Amino acid sequence: MKITLPVAASKIRTANNILVTAHVNPDGDAIGSVLAVLQVLRSMGKDVAAYIDDKIPKNFSVMPYAEEIRQPREDEKFDADLMLVLDTAPDRIGAVKNLTDAPILNIDHHITNKGDEGDLYVDADAAATCEIIFQLFKEMHAEITTNVAVCLYTGLATDTGFFNYSNTKPATLRTAAELVEAGVQPNLISEQLEKRTFQEIQIMSAALQTTKLFYGGKVVGMFIDRELYSQVETTEGLIDLIRVIDSADVAFLITEKEQKVCRVSMRSKGVEVSSIAKRLGGGGHVRAAGCTIYESMDVAKTILIRTIGEFMIENGYLRPADFENRDEVDLAAMNFENE
* Angle at CA of residue 263, ends 226 and 113, nearest 5°: 165
CA 89 to CA 9: how far, in whole Å? 18
Mean pLDDT estimate for the chain: 90
* Angle at CA of residue 144, ends 141 and 146, nearest 5°: 170
User: For 151-181, how does the pLDDT look when each residue is reduced to its tens digit (9 = 90+)?
Assistant: 999 999 999 999 988 899 999 999 999 999 9
- Choose the weakest-confidence range: 116-130, 133-147, 221-235, 288-302: 221-235
CA 22 to CA 26: how far, in whole Å? 7
User: For 90-112, how does the pLDDT look when each residue is reduced to its tens digit (9 = 90+)?
Assistant: 988 999 999 999 999 999 999 88
Alpha carbon dihedral 337, 222, 163, 8, in 10-degree steps, equals: 110
Predicted pLDDT at 332: 42
Alpha carbon dihedral 222, 226, 232, 237, in 10-degree steps, equals: 30
Q: What percent of the chain has pLDDT over 90?
A: 72
pTM, 2 dp: 0.84
User: For 218-256, how does the pLDDT look when each residue is reduced to its tens digit (9 = 90+)?
Assistant: 999 999 999 998 887 778 788 989 999 999 999 999 999
User: For 40-62, how does the pLDDT look when each residue is reduced to its tens digit (9 = 90+)?
Assistant: 999 999 999 999 999 898 889 88
